[in-house]
Amino acid sequence: MRMDIVHIGAGELTYEIRNIVNVGEKLQKLGLKTNWENIGDPIAKGEEVPGWMKEIVVEAVRQDCTYGYSPTKGVLATREFIAEQTNKLGTVKIDAEDIIFFNGLGDAISKIFGFLKRTARVLVPTPSYSTHSSAEAAHAGTSPVTYVLDPNNHWYPDLNDIEKHVTYNPAVAGILIINPDNPTGAVYPREVMEAIVEIARRYDLFLICDEVYQHIYYNGTTTATLAEVIGDVPAIAMRGISKEMPWPGARCGWIEVYNREKDPIFSKYIDSILNAKMVEVCSTTLPQTVYPQVVTHPDYPEYLRLRVARYEKFSNIAYDCLKDVKGVLVNRTNGAFYMSVCFEDGVLTDSQTLPIENDEVREMIENLVSPANTALDKRFVYYLLGSTGVCVVPLTSFATAINGFRITLLETSEKEFENIFHTIADAIERYLHS
């Protein structure tokens, strides 16, 4: 073409969680049986939506109003309900006007980062959920600016690292928190949340907190939502229904804006996000409409409790399977439904392999890992897939230099779940000794 039409940040948009699916599907056509442990979709992994929840949706489908546009910010009654729930939590008070619905949090993330000033940076965790880190990097047209989550300290944020970045990089305008965290499964204590809020207050920053796993934490851990600790700092909390109900296919999430009135620049920024949503008209009406009925249904608390109890049980099974494997560092998952496993420094090389019986599968895997710049953990992940059929995600695809992998805890069969993790433990040992 006569001019370059590619966005300056296009090269920063990567999503290995889905990319590896393309590889797995090609391998399936070659006869490989695959266990998809790469993406956080409880429905795809066999969780069943209860009948009472389906009946609520069916009844809503019978109402003509669910077929029309909703207000740009979202269904008013639902926003009023959410505001009331949030106001029970903490120090900040909001109303329906402080809530904006999006077609999933992916849509919200695109708007939040896409309408920042190009030179304004948001400090994101490393490792980080790749939708956040990619969107932040794409808006700036360069690599994300990151703070460390420490695998030697339960994957908690390194507060000194956050302060260092904020102090010495004047371009940092905000800090992103993901709590409970994806990809690590960490749950941050209240004092950690309070410390990050205090840093934002002292340096006149705003906060973004992804709380889509807000009620999914276990193993006796406790935490605090952003609303409980934010005080007077401008902030955005992100929530949705894809993980907790779960209804990922609904693509329904929202942001809650805290302390907008405290800063005119922040208020103007929120206006730009809302105006961008107005251009799209609105978000999908149906899931917004049913949300209050679902979460206030008398069976919902027990339904959620049982799901969280299963994640707790499976998190401990996974930890017990991997904790004694030499060459890796494993933290017990305490929230969400992911585990990130790190390889110790120096244990991976570019010559390690796993045996693959199918000649066509082996040839494909060897071709995929042949480029000289292939990350060492990606090499392991592809050999694991080709040799065992277990599909996980390289940890380096989550904006980190740490070699490892992320795996979900969503397999519904306990026997199959144990088999998967024993298979991984065995594969790690064989790979490191190859």
Query: So what's the pLDDT on residue 12?
Result: 47
Instruction: Give the orientation angle of helix 76-87 with respect to helix 285-295, to 10 degrees.
Output: 40
Residues β-bridged to residue 235: 207, 258
CA dihedral 254, 242, 410, 154 (to 10 degrees): 0
Query: So what's the pLDDT on residue 124?
Result: 96
Query: So what's the pLDDT on residue 5?
Result: 52
Q: What DSSP string runs through 305-368?
A: HHHHHHHHHHHHHHHHHHTT-TTEEE----BTTEEEEEEPTT---TT------SHHHHHHHHHH
- Pairing state between β 99-102 and 253-258: antiparallel
Residues β-bridged to residue 236: 208, 257
Query: So what's the pLDDT on residue 14?
Result: 57
Inter-residue contact 207 to 239 (CB < 8 Å): no
Residue 146 CB contacts under 8 Å (≥ 6 apart), including other chains = 123, 124, 125, 126, 128, 133, 399, 400
Query: So what's the pLDDT on residue 24?
Result: 82
Average pLDDT, the chain: 92
Q: What parts of the chain have a pLDDT lower than 70? A: 1-18
- The rounded distance, in Å, linking the Cα atoms of 71 and 76 is 7
Query: So what's the pLDDT on residue 17?
Result: 63
Residue 217, classed as helix, strand or coil, is: strand
Query: So what's the pLDDT on residue 16?
Result: 62
Amino acid at 413: S
Query: So what's the pLDDT on residue 140?
Result: 83
- The rounded distance, in Å, linking the Cα atoms of 341 and 319 is 10
Surface-to-core class of residue 393, CB atoms within 10 Å of its CB (0-12 exposed, 13-18 middle, 19+ buried): buried
* Residue given tokens 């795996």 in the structure block: 407
